[in-house]
Amino acid sequence: MDVIELNSIETYCRVFELPFTHPLVGVVECNEPEKLKPYMINWGFYALFLKDMASCTITYGKTRYDHGDKSIIAFAPGQVCAFEAIPGKDPKFTGVLFHPDFIHGTGLGRNILRYSFFAYSSNEALHLSPSEFRIIRNLIEIIGTELEMATDDHTHGIICDNIQLLLDYCVRFYDRQFTERHELNRDVLQRFENLLNEYFISGDAERLGLPTVNYFADKISLSPNYFGDLVKRETGVSAKEYLRKKLLEAAKEQLLNPQKSISQVAQSLGFQYPQHFVRFFKSMTGTTPGEFRERLHRSTYT
Protein backbone atom coordinates (compact mmCIF):
# COMPACT_ATOMS: atom_id res chain seq x y z
CA MET A 1 0.00 0.00 0.00
CA ASP A 2 1.37 3.41 -1.00
CA VAL A 3 2.27 5.78 1.85
CA ILE A 4 1.69 9.47 1.20
CA GLU A 5 3.85 11.74 3.34
CA LEU A 6 1.82 14.90 3.91
CA ASN A 7 4.30 17.24 5.55
CA SER A 8 2.58 20.38 4.32
CA ILE A 9 -0.84 21.64 3.28
CA GLU A 10 0.60 22.48 -0.13
CA THR A 11 1.55 18.81 -0.58
CA TYR A 12 -1.98 17.74 0.40
CA CYS A 13 -3.53 20.06 -2.18
CA ARG A 14 -1.11 18.95 -4.88
CA VAL A 15 -1.62 15.22 -4.23
CA PHE A 16 -5.42 15.49 -4.21
CA GLU A 17 -5.54 18.17 -6.94
CA LEU A 18 -7.26 20.78 -4.77
CA PRO A 19 -6.85 24.60 -4.79
CA PHE A 20 -3.99 25.87 -2.61
CA THR A 21 -4.32 29.26 -0.90
CA HIS A 22 -2.16 29.34 2.27
CA PRO A 23 0.93 27.36 3.37
CA LEU A 24 -0.21 26.91 7.00
CA VAL A 25 -4.02 26.76 6.96
CA GLY A 26 -6.68 25.77 4.49
CA VAL A 27 -10.27 24.73 3.87
CA VAL A 28 -10.70 21.96 1.31
CA GLU A 29 -13.79 20.65 -0.46
CA CYS A 30 -14.15 17.33 -2.24
CA ASN A 31 -17.08 16.21 -4.36
CA GLU A 32 -15.15 14.15 -6.85
CA PRO A 33 -14.81 10.36 -7.28
CA GLU A 34 -12.11 9.03 -4.98
CA LYS A 35 -9.28 6.78 -6.07
CA LEU A 36 -10.18 3.14 -5.53
CA LYS A 37 -6.59 2.16 -4.88
CA PRO A 38 -5.95 1.92 -1.10
CA TYR A 39 -3.36 4.31 0.30
CA MET A 40 -1.89 5.41 3.62
CA ILE A 41 -1.37 8.96 4.87
CA ASN A 42 1.28 10.09 7.31
CA TRP A 43 -0.06 13.40 8.61
CA GLY A 44 2.27 16.35 9.21
CA PHE A 45 -0.42 18.80 10.36
CA TYR A 46 -3.87 18.89 12.00
CA ALA A 47 -6.83 17.93 9.84
CA LEU A 48 -10.53 17.82 10.67
CA PHE A 49 -12.98 16.49 8.09
CA LEU A 50 -16.75 16.91 8.01
CA LYS A 51 -18.28 14.13 5.93
CA ASP A 52 -21.91 13.91 4.94
CA MET A 53 -21.92 10.53 3.23
CA ALA A 54 -20.23 7.15 3.60
CA SER A 55 -17.45 7.03 1.02
CA CYS A 56 -14.42 5.25 2.37
CA THR A 57 -13.08 2.83 4.90
CA ILE A 58 -10.42 4.20 7.24
CA THR A 59 -8.05 1.95 9.14
CA TYR A 60 -6.28 3.36 12.18
CA GLY A 61 -4.17 0.90 14.14
CA LYS A 62 -6.09 -2.39 14.26
CA THR A 63 -9.55 -0.98 13.64
CA ARG A 64 -11.48 -0.60 10.38
CA TYR A 65 -14.54 1.60 10.16
CA ASP A 66 -16.98 2.44 7.36
CA HIS A 67 -17.88 6.08 7.85
CA GLY A 68 -21.56 6.91 8.07
CA ASP A 69 -23.40 10.07 7.13
CA LYS A 70 -22.69 13.37 8.89
CA SER A 71 -19.59 12.54 10.88
CA ILE A 72 -16.32 14.16 11.89
CA ILE A 73 -12.93 12.52 11.93
CA ALA A 74 -9.77 14.35 13.02
CA PHE A 75 -6.06 13.67 12.61
CA ALA A 76 -2.98 15.06 14.36
CA PRO A 77 0.64 15.36 13.22
CA GLY A 78 2.40 12.01 13.35
CA GLN A 79 -0.69 9.84 12.84
CA VAL A 80 -0.66 7.22 10.10
CA CYS A 81 -3.99 5.99 8.67
CA ALA A 82 -5.03 3.79 5.76
CA PHE A 83 -7.81 4.85 3.39
CA GLU A 84 -9.78 2.73 0.97
CA ALA A 85 -12.65 4.02 -1.16
CA ILE A 86 -16.00 2.24 -1.12
CA PRO A 87 -16.86 1.31 -4.74
CA GLY A 88 -19.81 3.30 -6.06
CA LYS A 89 -19.60 5.87 -3.25
CA ASP A 90 -18.12 9.23 -4.20
CA PRO A 91 -16.69 11.28 -1.33
CA LYS A 92 -18.33 14.48 -0.23
CA PHE A 93 -16.49 16.24 2.56
CA THR A 94 -15.14 19.54 3.81
CA GLY A 95 -11.89 19.75 5.70
CA VAL A 96 -10.03 22.27 7.84
CA LEU A 97 -6.26 21.85 7.74
CA PHE A 98 -3.85 23.76 9.95
CA HIS A 99 -0.15 23.38 10.62
CA PRO A 100 1.24 23.55 14.19
CA ASP A 101 3.27 26.59 13.12
CA PHE A 102 0.04 28.50 12.38
CA ILE A 103 -1.19 28.24 15.97
CA HIS A 104 2.23 28.54 17.65
CA GLY A 105 2.19 31.18 20.39
CA THR A 106 -1.62 31.51 20.36
CA GLY A 107 -4.18 30.45 22.95
CA LEU A 108 -5.20 27.65 20.62
CA GLY A 109 -1.60 26.48 20.34
CA ARG A 110 -1.18 26.45 24.11
CA ASN A 111 -4.39 24.45 24.58
CA ILE A 112 -4.35 22.17 21.54
CA LEU A 113 -3.56 19.07 23.62
CA ARG A 114 -6.86 19.36 25.46
CA TYR A 115 -8.64 18.45 22.21
CA SER A 116 -8.00 14.78 22.81
CA PHE A 117 -10.26 13.65 19.96
CA PHE A 118 -7.41 14.34 17.51
CA ALA A 119 -5.91 11.09 18.78
CA TYR A 120 -9.13 9.07 18.63
CA SER A 121 -9.27 6.13 16.23
CA SER A 122 -11.48 6.16 13.16
CA ASN A 123 -14.11 3.96 14.82
CA GLU A 124 -14.50 6.69 17.44
CA ALA A 125 -15.68 9.34 14.98
CA LEU A 126 -18.12 12.03 16.08
CA HIS A 127 -21.57 11.47 14.56
CA LEU A 128 -23.60 14.64 14.17
CA SER A 129 -27.27 15.51 14.31
CA PRO A 130 -28.54 17.72 11.43
CA SER A 131 -28.37 20.86 13.61
CA GLU A 132 -24.86 20.01 14.80
CA PHE A 133 -23.82 19.41 11.21
CA ARG A 134 -25.05 22.89 10.24
CA ILE A 135 -23.10 24.53 13.07
CA ILE A 136 -19.85 22.82 12.08
CA ARG A 137 -20.45 23.53 8.40
CA ASN A 138 -21.09 27.23 9.10
CA LEU A 139 -17.89 27.58 11.13
CA ILE A 140 -15.86 25.96 8.37
CA GLU A 141 -17.44 28.34 5.86
CA ILE A 142 -16.44 31.32 8.04
CA ILE A 143 -12.82 30.10 8.09
CA GLY A 144 -12.92 29.58 4.32
CA THR A 145 -14.34 33.06 3.75
CA GLU A 146 -11.59 34.62 5.89
CA LEU A 147 -8.98 32.85 3.78
CA GLU A 148 -10.52 34.25 0.60
CA MET A 149 -10.46 37.84 1.89
CA ALA A 150 -7.50 40.19 1.72
CA THR A 151 -5.14 39.58 4.65
CA ASP A 152 -4.99 42.26 7.35
CA ASP A 153 -3.91 42.55 11.00
CA HIS A 154 -7.02 40.68 12.15
CA THR A 155 -6.91 37.69 9.80
CA HIS A 156 -4.69 35.38 11.79
CA GLY A 157 -6.49 35.96 15.09
CA ILE A 158 -9.96 35.56 13.58
CA ILE A 159 -9.04 32.29 11.88
CA CYS A 160 -7.45 30.91 15.07
CA ASP A 161 -10.48 31.96 17.11
CA ASN A 162 -12.86 30.23 14.71
CA ILE A 163 -10.77 27.06 14.59
CA GLN A 164 -10.82 27.02 18.40
CA LEU A 165 -14.60 27.58 18.40
CA LEU A 166 -14.95 24.73 15.91
CA LEU A 167 -12.92 22.43 18.17
CA ASP A 168 -14.87 23.54 21.26
CA TYR A 169 -18.11 22.59 19.53
CA CYS A 170 -16.60 19.19 18.73
CA VAL A 171 -15.85 18.70 22.44
CA ARG A 172 -19.44 19.68 23.26
CA PHE A 173 -20.89 17.27 20.72
CA TYR A 174 -18.59 14.47 21.86
CA ASP A 175 -19.90 15.01 25.40
CA ARG A 176 -23.41 14.53 24.00
CA GLN A 177 -22.30 11.36 22.22
CA PHE A 178 -20.71 9.96 25.39
CA THR A 179 -23.97 10.63 27.26
CA GLU A 180 -26.08 8.89 24.63
CA ARG A 181 -23.76 5.88 24.74
CA HIS A 182 -23.90 5.53 28.52
CA GLU A 183 -24.98 1.88 28.51
CA LEU A 184 -22.34 0.97 25.95
CA ASN A 185 -19.74 2.85 27.98
CA ARG A 186 -20.74 0.95 31.12
CA ASP A 187 -20.12 -2.28 29.23
CA VAL A 188 -16.66 -1.03 28.30
CA LEU A 189 -15.95 -0.20 31.95
CA GLN A 190 -17.07 -3.67 33.01
CA ARG A 191 -14.71 -5.22 30.47
CA PHE A 192 -11.95 -2.95 31.77
CA GLU A 193 -12.68 -4.03 35.36
CA ASN A 194 -12.63 -7.71 34.41
CA LEU A 195 -9.40 -7.36 32.44
CA LEU A 196 -7.78 -5.46 35.28
CA ASN A 197 -8.71 -8.10 37.86
CA GLU A 198 -7.42 -10.82 35.55
CA TYR A 199 -4.20 -8.85 35.05
CA PHE A 200 -3.29 -9.30 38.73
CA ILE A 201 -4.75 -12.80 39.21
CA SER A 202 -3.08 -14.31 36.14
CA GLY A 203 0.41 -13.07 36.97
CA ASP A 204 0.53 -10.69 34.00
CA ALA A 205 1.46 -7.84 36.31
CA GLU A 206 4.57 -9.67 37.49
CA ARG A 207 5.45 -10.61 33.91
CA LEU A 208 4.55 -7.38 32.08
CA GLY A 209 4.94 -4.72 34.78
CA LEU A 210 2.57 -2.11 36.15
CA PRO A 211 -0.78 -1.79 34.34
CA THR A 212 -0.99 1.06 31.84
CA VAL A 213 -3.82 2.91 30.13
CA ASN A 214 -2.36 2.05 26.70
CA TYR A 215 -2.35 -1.68 27.49
CA PHE A 216 -6.04 -1.84 28.44
CA ALA A 217 -7.15 0.54 25.68
CA ASP A 218 -5.53 -1.81 23.19
CA LYS A 219 -7.24 -4.83 24.78
CA ILE A 220 -10.62 -3.13 24.43
CA SER A 221 -9.78 -1.91 20.88
CA LEU A 222 -10.04 1.78 21.69
CA SER A 223 -7.51 4.55 21.29
CA PRO A 224 -5.84 5.58 24.60
CA ASN A 225 -7.33 9.08 24.39
CA TYR A 226 -10.89 7.92 23.73
CA PHE A 227 -10.60 5.25 26.40
CA GLY A 228 -9.27 7.78 28.90
CA ASP A 229 -12.04 10.27 28.12
CA LEU A 230 -14.64 7.52 28.44
CA VAL A 231 -13.34 6.44 31.86
CA LYS A 232 -13.20 10.05 33.07
CA ARG A 233 -16.73 10.68 31.82
CA GLU A 234 -18.17 7.58 33.53
CA THR A 235 -16.16 7.54 36.79
CA GLY A 236 -15.16 11.13 37.41
CA VAL A 237 -11.46 10.21 37.61
CA SER A 238 -8.82 9.79 34.93
CA ALA A 239 -7.99 6.31 33.64
CA LYS A 240 -4.52 6.66 35.17
CA GLU A 241 -5.99 7.50 38.59
CA TYR A 242 -8.48 4.64 38.23
CA LEU A 243 -5.56 2.26 37.66
CA ARG A 244 -3.75 3.63 40.70
CA LYS A 245 -6.80 3.02 42.91
CA LYS A 246 -7.18 -0.54 41.62
CA LEU A 247 -3.48 -1.11 42.16
CA LEU A 248 -3.86 0.04 45.74
CA GLU A 249 -6.81 -2.31 46.29
CA ALA A 250 -4.77 -5.22 44.94
CA ALA A 251 -1.83 -4.23 47.16
CA LYS A 252 -3.99 -4.14 50.30
CA GLU A 253 -5.47 -7.52 49.41
CA GLN A 254 -2.06 -9.11 49.01
CA LEU A 255 -0.72 -7.51 52.19
CA LEU A 256 -3.37 -9.48 54.10
CA ASN A 257 -1.30 -12.59 53.39
CA PRO A 258 1.39 -12.71 56.11
CA GLN A 259 3.30 -15.35 54.14
CA LYS A 260 4.20 -12.78 51.48
CA SER A 261 7.05 -10.36 52.06
CA ILE A 262 6.75 -6.72 51.04
CA SER A 263 9.19 -7.42 48.19
CA GLN A 264 7.09 -10.34 46.96
CA VAL A 265 3.94 -8.21 47.00
CA ALA A 266 5.73 -5.47 45.07
CA GLN A 267 6.96 -7.94 42.46
CA SER A 268 3.57 -9.58 41.99
CA LEU A 269 1.97 -6.18 41.37
CA GLY A 270 4.49 -5.26 38.66
CA PHE A 271 6.84 -2.95 40.56
CA GLN A 272 10.43 -3.27 39.40
CA TYR A 273 11.84 -2.27 42.78
CA PRO A 274 10.30 -2.69 46.28
CA GLN A 275 11.13 0.90 47.21
CA HIS A 276 8.95 2.11 44.34
CA PHE A 277 6.05 0.12 45.77
CA VAL A 278 6.67 1.56 49.25
CA ARG A 279 6.72 5.09 47.82
CA PHE A 280 3.50 4.48 45.85
CA PHE A 281 1.67 2.96 48.82
CA LYS A 282 2.65 5.76 51.18
CA SER A 283 1.63 8.43 48.66
CA MET A 284 -1.81 6.81 48.43
CA THR A 285 -2.43 5.97 52.10
CA GLY A 286 -0.02 8.03 54.19
CA THR A 287 1.52 4.85 55.65
CA THR A 288 4.09 2.35 54.40
CA PRO A 289 3.08 -1.23 53.48
CA GLY A 290 4.84 -2.44 56.61
CA GLU A 291 2.94 0.00 58.82
CA PHE A 292 -0.33 -0.97 57.13
CA ARG A 293 0.35 -4.67 57.73
CA GLU A 294 1.34 -4.06 61.36
CA ARG A 295 -1.85 -2.10 61.95
CA LEU A 296 -3.89 -4.96 60.50
CA HIS A 297 -2.04 -7.41 62.72
CA ARG A 298 -2.75 -5.37 65.89
CA SER A 299 -6.44 -4.98 65.03
CA THR A 300 -6.75 -8.73 64.46
CA TYR A 301 -5.32 -9.69 67.82
CA THR A 302 -6.76 -6.99 70.07
Query: 217-229: per-residue pLDDT in tens?
Result: 999 999 999 999 9
148 within 8 A of 105, measured Cβ to Cβ: no
How many Å apart are CA 223 and CA 210, to the nearest integer? 19
Question: 3-state class of 66 per DSSP?
Answer: strand
Go through the chain and tell me how many residues it has. 302
Question: What distance in Å separates the CA atoms of residue 231 and residue 170, rounded to the nearest whole number?
Answer: 19
Domains and CATH numbers, the chain: 2-177 (2.60.120.280), 183-300 (1.10.10.60)
User: Which regions of 195-292 does DSSP assign to beta strands (E)?
Assistant: none
Grouping H, G, I as helix, E, B as strand and the rest as coil, residue 38 is: coil
Contacts (Cβ under 8 Å, ≥6 apart) of 172 = none
CA angle 70, 76, 82 (to 5 degrees): 70
Q: Residue 97 carries which DSSP code?
A: E
Residues 6 or more apart in contact with residue 37 via CB below 8 angstroms: 2
Phi and psi at residue 56, to the nearest 5°:
-155, 160
Strand partners for 95: 28, 49
Residue 3 buriedness (CB in 10 A; 0-12 / 13-18 / 19+): exposed
Q: Which of 80, 95, 98, 91 is nearest to 41 (CA)?
A: 80
pLDDT for 241:
96
Among 65, 77, 70, 64, smallest CA distance to 9 is for: 77
- Alpha carbon distance 133, 62 (integer Å): 28
Residue 42: its H or E element: strand 39-43
Residue 87's pLDDT band (cuts 50, 70, 90): low
Q: Between the ranges 36-50, 121-135, 182-196, 269-283, where is the mean pLDDT highest?
A: 269-283
Q: Quick check: 10 and 23 in contact, CB under 8 A?
A: yes
Q: How far apart are the first and last CA of the chain?
A: 71
pTM of structure: 0.75
Tell me what the mean pLDDT of segment 274-296 comes to: 94
**What are the pLDDT digits (tens) for 229-281?**
999 999 999 999 999 999 999 999 999 998 999 999 999 999 999 999 999 99
Average pLDDT over residues 129-135: 93
Q: Which of 15, 9, 53 is nearest to 31 (CA)?
A: 53
Using 50, 70 and 90 to split pLDDT, how confident is the model at 33? very low
Query: Where is 46: in which H helix or E strand?
Result: strand 46-51
Determine how β-strand 39-43 pairs with β-strand 2-6.
parallel
